[in-house]
């Protein structure tokens, strides 16, 4: 298990780690944007629901036979 790494091996490992970090950063940026969109949509839906509670809708009377 005692392996010796050359400078080229270490550079390759570091480069791969950097690529992975950049990919993770991109994914986090996308998730942050999606989260902002979800929050915005939730606020809009909440306002619609609250606004619909204040509206009065006409009620249709049932036809009853005496």
Write the CA distances from 54 to 31, 50, 58, integer angstroms: 35, 7, 13
Tokens of 60: 């249709």
> pTM for this one?
0.62
Q: What is the pLDDT of residue 2?
A: 84
Please say if the pLDDT value at position 32 is more than 80: yes
The whole-number average pLDDT for the span 10-23 is 98
State percent of the chain over pLDDT 90: 64
The whole-number average pLDDT for the span 42-53 is 85
């Amino acid at each position: 298990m005692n392996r010796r790494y050359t400078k080229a091996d270490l550079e390759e490992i570091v480069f791969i780690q950097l690529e992975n970090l950049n990919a993770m950063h991109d994914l986090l940026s996308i998730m942050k944007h999606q989260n902002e969109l979800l929050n915005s949509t939730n606020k809009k839906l909440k306002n619609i629901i609250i606004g619909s509670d204040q509206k009065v809708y006409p009620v249709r009377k049932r036809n009853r036979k005496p």
